[in-house]
Structures are given as C-alpha cells and as structure tokens.
Chains A and B, each alone.
Chain A
C-alpha cells in the first residue's frame, strides 16, 4: 500500500509540474477516441470519416476548452445523420436542442459526461458513469448522465434504422420522421436505463456522504447492485434484452474504475479514526475525524558535507578519480566549489512513514522513522546542477 501511495504522490507531483503538457495530451486522446468511435459506429459521411480530419479536430480540441469537444462530437454526429438523410439530421438537431435548452444549460460544467456516457455505453461499460458521477459529483449529475443516455439511444436508433432510411425515397420524409421518433419514444430500454442511472447516481451520492466507515466502497457496491437490479427488473417488464454476462463484466470493470477514483480522491485510514466530543456555549459537538492515508514523495536529503582542501593542481586528477570510485561505495558526493575545494556530500533518500498521525497525536519519534529509509550515495560531479532542488544543503 505504501508503494501505491508513493506512486500516487509521484504521479501528482509529475502532473502538477507538467500540467501544461499533460492536460492537452489527455484532451487530445479523449477527443480522438470519441471522434473515432463516432466515425466507426456511424460513418455515413465518408468525407469526415477520415483519420486526418479526426487528428486535426482532436488537435484543435487539445488546446480549446473542454466544451468544444462536446460541440465537435455533436457536429460529427449531426453530419453523419445529415449524410444519411436530412430528416434524421432534423430529429438529431431537435433532440440536441431540447437537451441543451431544458437540461444542459444548468449543468454546463458536466457537458463532458453527456459525451462520455454514450461512448462508455458503446464500449459495453454503461455502469461506470453513474457510479463515478455519484462518487465525484452531486445528485444533479443525474441530469447530465440521463442526457448522455438519450444521446446514446438517439445514435442507436439512427444506426438500427439506417438501412430502412436508406431504402426509403425522398418523398417519404414524414415516414422517416415517424420511424425515428417512434424508435426513440417507444424505446423502453432507454426509459429503464434513465431511471436506473438516475437512481444509481442519487443512491451512490447519499451513501458516500454518510458517516460510516468505508462509505465510498459501500456506495459503489450498492450503486452497482441497484443499477443491475433495476435493469434486470426493466428487462423482465419490458424485455430490453439485457445480457447477464455483460452486466457482470460491466460491474467488475466499474468496481475497478471506481476503486481507482477512490484511491485518488478519498483514501482514508479507518484504523486511526478518532471520535471526540466537546461543547461550546450553544452546541455539543460529536466529531469523527478520519485521517487521510498519505505519504510524502521520497526525497534526497544532504546529511553531512565534509569540506576537504584540494591537493596541488598537478596531482588533482588522479586523486579525484580514486576518490570518486571509492566514494561510490562509502556514500559520498563530490561538489567542486569556486575556491577550488571539494566537498564530500553524504545523502540519504527518505522513504517516509506509512501515514501521518492524526492531529494531537504526532509521534515524537516520527522524524527518526521518516529518515529511516534507504541510504543512497550519489557520486556524480553534476549533482549540484541536476538535483539541486531536492537537496537541503547544510553549510
């Protein structure tokens, strides 16, 4: 566990240092995946079903705000629908317009969920999004998740009716409209899915906010069970063709994804829970404090610096070579100073304690434990230039 926590801290450190590069790369990859899946599933307009266009648009999305990814995804979907028939594009436009005007204008921050929900549904992982949004979002997230389900079923309806629409003539415009509208409104699976996702988001949110140990784990387990249960009941009532095997696989993947989210957002050490009671003039307080599981990333600390006068210049090189090879075993570091003297620096890599003690119970020997890690000897002449930030110099 300590290794994982160390890894988390290192990842956070890397991310915070290189956020300017990592974020655009993530956005690029995400938009590339989204647009490729849309092209792969629909692909009626051959002009935009082109890798070069997808790459250019993904590149645009990488430095534009996240909202543009949603706009481009919608645009691609609309263009594919337009290539199929203008009536299909009209129905798509109406659905997107209604979703925006009635729902998404209140949850603009979560617009990405509307794109990711259908994509995860297409990848046969529909359970991930509601449970994840229950864990990291609010009950209002059910609106964006529900909108995502509507978008998924819109795309599915278009894909399943595409051969029929293609076979119809231009004069059968109203028949095409009827086909799509009936396909959407008469889709019981969509209603069951919306109900299941909404209930899941709310249940997961309510449970994870409860003051019980392992509330996040309980919340995700309860959320997945409720979701599968509602979908099974819906399957029995409306015959929505739910596959038990895919539901189980989806549940397992959801647990893994949600555990990763939990690890990064809510990693608590319940073994050191403290319950305290106190009062002031107006209230009596029952407080439960659960410490977070944290370790600080290992750092190199200079423990000792031995200043040595350098011998005469003509004999410096052989002496220095000999010392360098010897110190690599004995734990030293050579730093050449401006005055021509060489300092032998002993460094120690600290692997910190497993977790921090709670407030008021700091271990008096913690400092000693923290420095009880591996001793590392660095014997490079360039140490002072490369890793100067990580060294506490004790002159």
Chain B
C-alpha cells in the first residue's frame, strides 16, 4: 500500500537534494570557523589578483612617464603607498566576505536543520 505522506516527504527531500541542498550540504560539511576562514582566504586571493591587475593597468596607463619618473621618485614611499592601498583593499573586501559568508553559513545550517528534521520524520514513518 502506498503511503502518500511518505511519498510527498521523499519527493520534497529529493527535490531539495537536487537543487539548493547540494550547495547547503557542501557548506554544512565545514565547521563555521573553517568555512568562513576558507572563503575569506579565497577572497583575499581574489582581491590580490584584482589589485595586481589594477596596478598593472595603472602602470601601463602612462608607461612612458612612469618609466621616466621611476629613477627620480622615492621608491620606498611609492611602495608604502602601494602596500597601504593593497592593505585597505584586502581588509575591506575580506570584511565584506566575512559578513556574506557568515550569513550564508547561518542560512545553510537553518535549511539543513529542516532537511534533517524531515529525514527523522521519514525514519519514524519507516519504523511505524
């Protein structure tokens, strides 16, 4: 005899596993601190690449003048400025990533909690 409640529950869970559940389960495998740390590290890497690309574009923008001035300019203060801007970029972007990843982790955990409750419910139906 078909159990309608069981079928509905299983269909809902299968649909969840196929769609948003995939991503949430990947997030749920980590501890909160581990997940956020990995994501922030990735963000720092991305910010570094983006900053390097912007810096390269800045150099090429006025390459001739830059090459002429490179012997005259105070290279240490120039490097300090470059590093300062890099630090600001990385800190701001890292903080934004931290916030986004914290929210994502909380949302994924909440969603997975609902999924696990459904699993328990399904288990209890089988044990009936």
Q: Which chain A residues have a beta carbon within 8 Å of chain B's beta carbons?
A: 91, 94, 97-98, 101-102, 105-106, 174, 177-178, 181
Contacts and interface: CB of A to CB of B under 8 A. Distances in A.
B57 interface: yes
23 contacts: A91-B57, A97-B50, A97-B53, A98-B50, A98-B54, A101-B46, A101-B49, A101-B50, A102-B46, A102-B47, A102-B50, A102-B93, A105-B46, A106-B100, A174-B60, A174-B62, A174-B63, A174-B64, A177-B60, A177-B61, A178-B62, A181-B57, A181-B61
Interface of B: 46-47, 49-50, 53-54, 57, 60-64, 93, 100
Contacts of A181: 57, 61
B50 A178 contact: no
Given A101-B46, A101-B49, A94 B57 contact: yes
A98 B47 CA distance: 9
B85 to A, nearest CB: 15
B97 to A, nearest CB: 8
8 nearest A-B residue pairs (beta carbon): A101-B46, A101-B50, A174-B63, A98-B50, A94-B53, A102-B50, A94-B57, A177-B60
Nearest to A98: B50
A353 B93 CA distance: 55
B65 to A, nearest CB: 9
Nearest to B53: A94
Nearest to B45: A101
A196 B47 CA distance: 26
Contacts of B63: 174
A94 B56 CA distance: 10
A97 B49 CA distance: 9
Contacts of B60: 174, 177
A192 B57 CA distance: 24
Contacts of A102: 46-47, 50, 93
Contacts of B93: 102
A94 B53 CA distance: 7
A105 B96 CA distance: 13
